[in-house]
Structure 1
Amino acid sequence: MVRVSFLFSSFLLALSSSAQTVYTGESLDGFKVASRIDVSDLPLNSLTKVFLRMPKNQIGQNWFVPVMVAKGQNDGKRLFLNSGIHGDGLNGIRVIQRVINDLDTSKMSGVVVGIPGANVNGMLQNKHRFVSMSGSGSLTDLNQYFPGDTTYPDDVYQYVGTLWEDLIFNNNFTAAVDFQTQATGNTASLNVDADVSVPYVQKMVDLSGADVAVTKAADPESGALDDNLTNVGVAALTYTLAGPRVFDAEPIQRGYDFAQRLISDLNIHSAANTTLSASSKMLVTDTVDTFYAQLGGFVETHVELLDSVTEGQVLATMYDPHGDIIDETKALHSGIIMELMTDPLREPGALIASVAVSKI
C-alpha cells in the first residue's frame, strides 16, 4: 500500500523551490558524496559523477546510490534516466553508463541525469526487491512506493523518499525513462508502458523502437516511478529491456539508441546513427492478458517471445513430478508473446506468459 498525503505533497513543492546541491564532505571510491543534488548548482560543460547518500541500514551505515550528470555548455531541457529500481534489472544500468559517458558536454544544451542502479540493496542481495532485515525479513518492490516519505519510520519509504525528494522531484525534469527488465525466472520482449495522453509521451513511444507499447492511464497511487513523474508534469515512461541478471547486448544497444534519439529530439545533443529502421514494427495495445500458474508444478512452454498466437492456442503445459499433465495455459485472444517464464519450476501465482492483444 502506498502512503501519500496532501501535506507531504505540499512539503515536496516547497522543497523543490529551495533545493540545492549539498555535499557531505565524504568520498566513496574517490567520488564525492551528496545528500541532495540540484543540477542548477553544477558547472556548465561538466560531467559529474557522485554518490547520493541514502538512509542508514540496520548497522547504522548509509546506502549510497551512484548518480551521473552531464550538463551542457548552455541551458536547455532536462532528461532523467533511471535503472535498477529492481535489483536484478541490470540492462538499463549499462545503457545509462554508456549514454552519459558518450555525451560531449561542450556540444550540449541542457542536462541528462542518470542513476545507474537505484536499488543497490537488491543488487547486493541478487534480489528483484528491496531486502529489509528487521524481524524475519521482508522483500518489497520499490516501484510500488513512490514518492516515498523521508520522515516516515520505515526503511522502504525513506529510501524511495530520498531518491524522490533529493534528486528526482527537485530537478524539474522535462522527460524521464525508467529502464527495467523482467524479474528473475522470466524474460520479456522490449516493451514500453506509457500514458500517451500526457504531452510528449506519444513522441517518446514513437522514438522507443520497442516491440510492444502498452498504453495506460497513469495512476500515482500505484507507487510506480513513471506514474508519479507523470503526476508532477514530467513526460515519463517505463521501458522493459528483456530479461534479468545479464548484460544482454541487443537490448542494451536498443535502449542506448532510444536514449540517444530522445536526447536529440529534446535538442540536448545531436545523435548519430540511431535512426529507426523503416522496417521497425511495434504492436500498440491497451490490453495485455497475463497468465499465472494456478497450481504448482513443472511447466513447459510452447512459444517464444514475439510469437504470434491465436485465441485458444496452448501456450504452456504444466506437469506433476511424474510427468502427467495437470494444467494447460491457453491464449484468450490473438496477439504476440510479450513476457515468458524461463524457470520451469512454477509455484501458484508465478508468471507463465503474457500476450499483448492485437486490436486488428
Structure 2
Amino acid sequence: MNTPIAGPSAEYILPLRWAAETELDSELQDLAAYLERLLEWIPVTVVDGSAPELFERHHAVFPQGVRHLQPGPAGGNGKVAGVMTGVRASSAELLVIADDDVRYTRESLAAVVHHLSSADIVRPQNYFDPLPWHAWWDTSRTLVNRAWSADYPGTLAVRRSALLATGGYDPVLFENLELIRTVKAAGGREKIVPDLFVARRPPKFRHFLKQRTRQAYDDFAQPRRLAAELALLPVIACAARLPAGRRRAALLGLVAAPVLVAEMGRRRHSGTAAFPFRAVWFAPLWTLERAACIWIALAFRLGGGVPYAETRLKTAAHSEAELRRRHQGKLSTMQGGARSFTDNPNKEQP
C-alpha cells in the first residue's frame, strides 16, 4: 500500500552533511531511491549542511517532492542544527528524525508514528543490513546494550510540540541521548520499543575506525557505565599476571562473559529475528576494543574534548539533573493540549 502515514500530521526529517572526499555516487543514488519510496508514505524534509557544490548536486538528484533546506547556524554538533531547522520548518506534529543511513519500511515507519499516540518520544531498534565483517563487530555492541538496558538508534520519533516546548536541545556529541533527556526533563514520556526493528546501512570501514573512540567518549554521559568500562583494562591486566593455570581460567572467563551477555541481548525482545547468532562471537573483541578506547577517550576529555568535524566537543551529553533544572515543567504549560497521557510521563516503557 502507498497511502500516506498519518496524513499531514507526520513528517520525516533527515539531517545530512556529506563531505566531497567521502561521498560516493552509489551511496547518493541509494539515498535518493530511498527518499523516493518514503515520499509515497510521508512528507520528507532533508536539511543539508553539505558544502554548496554538494548541496546543489544533492538537489539535482533528490526526488522533486523532497523539501531540501540548508540548516541554521551550527554550534558544535551540526546534526542538531539540522534537526532543529527541520523541526521548526515543519507543520506536522509527529516527526520521525533519522540519519542518512537509516532505512525504514512502510510497516516500521507506520509503527513508530503510531507509538507517538502514547508518547512524546519513541526509540526503536536499529540493525545493520547488509553485514560486512566490521558490522558484525559493531552489532555485538548493540547486543551488549540490549542485555543491560536498551540500545540508542540512529532514529527517533518525537512530538514537535514537546521538543519545541523545551526550546531545542544542545549540540553535544551524544545528540540522541541529549534529545531524549531534554524531552523527558521537561515532563515528556519516552517509549522504548526494542522489538521495532529498523534497518540501517553499515558505515564504510574508515568511518567505522573513526567511530571507535568517539563512541567510547559517549560514556562520559553515563557515569556508571563509564566506571565499569574504565575498570576493564586493569582487570584484564591483573588476569594476565596470574599464575599459568589461574590465568587461563580467568582469561577464559573474560572471553566467555561478553559472549553470554551478547546472547542475552540477542534473545531479549525478539532480537533473534534481526540479529544472527554469529554476532555474539565478536563481543569479546568489542570488549577489548572498549577497554582500550575508553582510556583514549579519557585522554581526549582531559585535553579539552574529542575531535568532531572541525571542532572539539567536550560534553557528551548533559546529566538528567542538569536538564531537569533547565526544563522541568515546560510540557505541563504547553498550549494546545497536544499531550493526553494519564500515567507517569517519565516511566520508561518495556
Shared fold, TM over 0.5: no
Higher relative contact order (CA 8 A, sep 6+): 2
The structure where strand makes up a greater share of residues is 1
The structure where helix makes up a greater share of residues is 2
Task: Report the TM-score when normalising by structure 2.
Answer: 0.29
